[in-house]
Structure 1
Amino acid sequence: MNLFGKPYLRSVSVDPRADIDLDTYPFTIPAVRDMGVIDMHPDVTFFVGENGAGKSTVLEAIAVALGLPAEGGPRSVHRPQQEVSPLERHLKLVKGARQSRHAWFLRAESMFNVFSYMDEVGGERRNGGGLHRRSHGEAFAELLQNFQPGGLYLLDEPEAALSPNRQLGALCIIDELVKKDAQFIIATHSPILLAYPRAAILSFDDTGITPVAYQDTEHYATTRDFLNHYPRRLQQLFDDE
Structure 2
Amino acid sequence: MLSQTTQYIRSLKINRDSIPSFDEYPFNLPAICNLSTLEFHPRVTFIVGENGAGKSTILEAIAIAYGFNPEGGTKNFNFSSNDTHSELDEHIKLIKGVRLPKDGFFFRAESFYNVASNIDVLARSGGSSFLNMYGGKSLHAQSHGESFFSIFVNRFSGYSLYILDEPEAALSPSRQMAMIRRIHQLVESNCQFIIATHSPIIMAYPDAAIYEITGSSINEVDYDETEHYQTMRAFFDNPKRIIDMLIEEDAED
Q: TM-score range by the shorter chain?
A: over 0.9
- Answer yes or no: is 1:40 the counterpart of 2:40: yes
User: What CA distance in whole angstroms lies between the structure 1 residues aligned with 2:42 and 2:193?
Assistant: 8
- Answer yes or no: is 1:92 the counterpart of 2:93: yes
Structure 1 counterpart of 2:214, from 205, 213, 229: 205
Structure 2 counterpart of 1:176, from 185, 191, 207: 185
User: What CA distance in whole angstroms lies between the structure 2 residues aligned with 1:133 and 1:48?
Assistant: 31
User: What CA distance in whole angstroms lies between the structure 2 residues aligned with 1:160 and 1:139?
Assistant: 12
How do 1:107-186 residues align onto structure 2 when only pairs under 5 Å count? 107-122=108-123, 123=127, 126=132, 127-145=135-153, 146-186=155-195
Q: Which amino acid is 1:95 matched to?
A: K
Between the two proteins, what is the percent identity of the paired residues? 45
Give the match for residue 106 of structure 1: 107
* TM-score normalised by structure 2 residue count: 0.90
Aligned partners of 1:6 and 1:182 also within 8 Å: no
User: What CA distance in whole angstroms lies between the structure 1 residues aligned with 2:108 and 2:61?
Assistant: 13
User: What CA distance in whole angstroms lies between the structure 2 residues aligned with 1:32 and 1:194?
Assistant: 22
* Greater share of helix: 2
CA RMSD between the two structures:
1.7
Structure 2 counterpart of 1:232, from 241, 244, 249: 241
Q: Which amino acid is 2:103 matched to?
A: H
Residue 61 of structure 2 aligns to a residue whose secondary structure is: helix
Residues 130-187 of structure 1 deviation map (CA, whole Å, 9 limit, x = unaligned): 1111001101101001201011100001110111111111111100000111000000
Aligned partners of 1:6 and 1:183 also within 8 Å: no
User: What CA distance in whole angstroms lies between the structure 1 residues aligned with 2:229 and 2:156?
Assistant: 28
Query: How far is the alpha carbon of 1:205 from its aligned partner?
Result: 2.1
Structure 2 vs 1, CA of residues 79 and 41 (structure 1 numbering), >3 Å: closer, same or farther?
Answer: same
Residues 14-49 of structure 1 deviation map (CA, whole Å, 9 limit, x = unaligned): 124423311111111000111121000000000001
User: What CA distance in whole angstroms lies between the structure 2 residues aligned with 1:26 and 1:119?
Assistant: 33
Q: Which amino acid is 2:208 matched to?
A: A
Residue 71 of structure 2 aligns to a residue whose secondary structure is: coil
Is there any run of 5+ residues in structure 2 with no aligned partner, and where? none
Comparing 108-117 and 13-22, the one that deviates more: 13-22
* TM-score normalised by structure 1 residue count: 0.94
User: What CA distance in whole angstroms lies between the structure 1 residues aligned with 2:140 and 2:14?
Assistant: 38
